[in-house]
Amino acid sequence: MDTATASTPSSFRYTGPDKLSLPVEQALRRVVDPEIAMNIVDVGLVYEVTVDADRVHVLMTMTSAACPVADVILDEVGIELERAVPEDRRIELELTWEPPWTPDRMSPHARRFMGW
């Protein structure tokens, strides 16, 4: 099985089959943080994605521990990933606060969008 491990600034680390890298990224980019009106990849909420034979594990955060739309975002991540990966893989979402999110995690596009 071909696997890839990659990360770029303002992006997330991906470990898993090459053929699922793009579908996973596209799925995550379809999830929008409704408070910011920007996808969660560009906002920098996704830290790491690991895809193996039976699961897709996503380590992510929110912009604040008090984020009022965290459940909505997590639900959307699950829905989009279920559409993007084979049905035989379960979706595991792990929310973390370490390291805390900072605006430095945002992509250049997101920073321009926010006027920073």
In which band, very low, low, confident or very high, does the pLDDT at 97 lie, cut at 50, 70 and 90? Answer: very high
Domains in the chain, start-ordered, CATH in brackets? 3-110 (3.30.300.130)
At 74-94, the pLDDT tens digits run 999 999 999 999 889 999 999
Going by their DSSP bridges, the two strands 13-17 and 46-51 should be labelled as: parallel
Are residues 69 and 55 in contact, defined by beta-carbon separation less than 8 angstroms? no
- pLDDT > 90 in the chain, percent: 84
Q: What is the pTM of this model?
A: 0.89
On the question of pLDDT at 21 being above 90, the answer is: yes
On the question of pLDDT at 6 being above 70, the answer is: no
Residue 58: name the closest of 14, 93, 23, 96 by CA: 93
Q: What's the average model confidence in pLDDT over 32-38?
A: 94
As a whole number of angstroms, the distance between CA 68 and CA 112 comes to 24
As a whole number of angstroms, the distance between CA 54 and CA 52 comes to 6
